[in-house]
Amino acid sequence: DSGVTQTPKHLITATGQRVTLRCSPRSGDLSVYWYQQSLDQGLQFLIQYYNGEERAKGNILERFSAQQFPDLHSELNLSSLELGDSALYFCASSVEPLTDTQYFGPGTRLTVL
C-alpha cells in the first residue's frame, strides 16, 4: 500500500459524458501528478499540482481539467468523453518534486462505451 488512494476503482460511462476522478495523496506530500496509461500511448504525464497550484502540464487534452484543494486532495475532470479516453488513470504524490520518489495510487480504470 503506497498510501495514495484513488476513487473510484472502476468507472464505466458513455461517450459524451463527464466524470470526476479523485486522489488523496500520502500524508505530508505536497505534489500531486496525474498520469494516463493506455495500450497505445503507454504511461503519459497529464498534469502536476504543488500545494494547490498548477506546476506543469503534459499531454492533457483541453477536455480534461484538474485541481488540487486546500486539503491537498486532487480531482481530475474528464468531459465530452470519447472512446479513446478509455484508460487507466494514475495519481502519484511526492514530498518534493524532481528527486523525491513518486508514490502511485492503484489507479482508476475508465471505460467509455
12 lies in the site for another protein, by CB under 8 A: no
Of residues 52 through 91, those in contact with another protein by CB under 8 A are 55-58, 90
CA 10 to chain centre: 14
Minimal distance in Å, beta carbon 37 to another protein? 9
Minimal distance in Å, beta carbon 8 to another protein? 15
* φ, ψ (nearest 5 deg) of residue 83: -55, -35
Beta strands in 1-113 (DSSP E): 5-7, 10-13, 19-24, 31-38, 42-50, 53-57, 64-68, 74-78, 87-94, 103-104, 108-112
Which range touches another protein (CB under 8 A), out of 13-21, 22-30, 38-46, 71-79?
Answer: 38-46
Residues in contact with another protein by the rule CB under 8 A: 2, 4, 31, 33, 35, 42-45, 48, 55-58, 90, 92, 97-99, 101-107
